[in-house]
Amino acid sequence: MGILNKLDNSVEQFESGNIIITSMDKLLNWSRLSSMWQMFFGLACCAIEMMATSASHYDLDRFGIIPRPSPRHVDIILISGTVTLKMATRIKRLYDEMPAPKYILSMGSCANCGGPYWEHGYHVLKGIDRIIPVDVYVPGCPPRPEALLEGLIKLQERIRNQSLAKHIA
Amino acid sequence: MEINEIYNKLKSVFGEGIGELKTDLPVRPFFFADASKIDAVALFLRDEESMQFDNLSCLSGVDYDKDNLAVVYHLCSYALGHQLVVKCLVPKSDPKIKSVSDVWAAAEWHEREAFDLVGMIFEGNPDLRRILLPEDWEGHPLRKDYKVPEFYNGMKIPY
Ligand code: SF4
């Protein structure tokens, strides 16, 4: 009974029958964190590590993360690499097209703060958080797949602690 | 052919239009050609029996010195297996040069890149738009006097 394990001891199950009782928050959070569909795009060298993470060895699928081709389908966007100003305009637009709730994971030094282009990159946005709000930052140039997985697990934790009633900053 | 033979042949055809051959630098030997003759030189290099430079491997734009930009042509010949580097100076005050995109089709996008980043105008290029930077970008960032703007479309650029 996957759901019973995931929703921990706040779930009650009736002796007989298929009825369980839990809180709305827990159910919503559980369903959100278990199928974080991902916007299907990569930006630079970091994207290679992201692809490695999606492939069979690290297997993103087991977190319910499936790349989708349209921003209308997705819950999370992995900003995997160098964000040029030209691309930033597009990312902002894709982000605006995603239905809420939406989450952003910034992967690698470039997306976090401009990375190697911080000083002489006239064309690079020095941190994706200048245009969209970031939930989790993964440092590294590039981060290894383990680090990206750690970031995604952090994001799951964040979603698990959300509440409809309280806003979590 | 050896570089000296190629150079002498060009010199005999174009005379004053071809500058001195420089071989003592730690780069491939090169010479300057007169920018106003570059289309004729290019056509000669491609079509002349003993030259057959059928491939433009690279065309680059350079901010050369205080008053000049330069266009550098790297040529090679698959047919005869020799290579050549030609440079043209273009004054910054009036940065116009003839396009070679009708001689080597590969030049079209290379010229767009040189225009985009360094800002010379290639007369005769059929589609001289920016190729890498956004269309509404201002200025040519590989110029040495380029100042990085404070903002682009509301996004702050400096760190
Ligand atoms: S952080 Fe490093 S590896 Fe990642 S996109 Fe930037 S330069 Fe490439």
Domains contained in chain B, CATH given: 3-156 (3.30.460.80)
Residues contacting residue B65 through CB under 8 Å, at least 6 positions apart: none
Q: Is any Cβ of chain B less than 8 angstroms from the Cβ of A88?
A: yes
Least confident of A3-17, A28-42, A133-147: A3-17
CA A110 distance to own-chain centroid: 17
Is A128 within 8 Å of chain B by CB? no
Return the higher-pLDDT residue of A162 and B105.
B105
Measured between CA atoms, the residue of chain B closest to residue A86 is B134
Cis amide prior to A101 (ω within 30 degrees): yes
Average of per-residue pLDDT values in chain B: 93
pLDDT tens, residue by residue, B13-69: 998 889 999 999 999 999 999 999 999 999 999 999 999 999 999 999 999 999 999
A:B CB pairs within 8 Å: 29
- Averaged over A72-101, what is the pLDDT? 93
Residue contact B159–A123, C-beta within 8 A: no
Q: What is the pTM of this model?
A: 0.82
User: 3-state SS string over chain A?
Assistant: CHHHHHCHHHCEECCCCCCEECCHHHHHHHHHHHCCCEECCCCCHHHHHHHHHHCCCCCHHHHCCCEECCHHHCCEEEEECCCEHHHHHHHHHHHHHCCCCCEEEEEHHHHHHCHHHCCCCCCECCCHHHCCCCCEEECCCCCCHHHHHHHHHHHHHHHHCCCCCCCCC
pLDDT tens track for A113-163: 999 999 888 999 999 999 999 999 999 999 999 999 999 999 999 999 888
User: Based on C-alpha coordinates, what's the Rg of chain B?
Assistant: 17
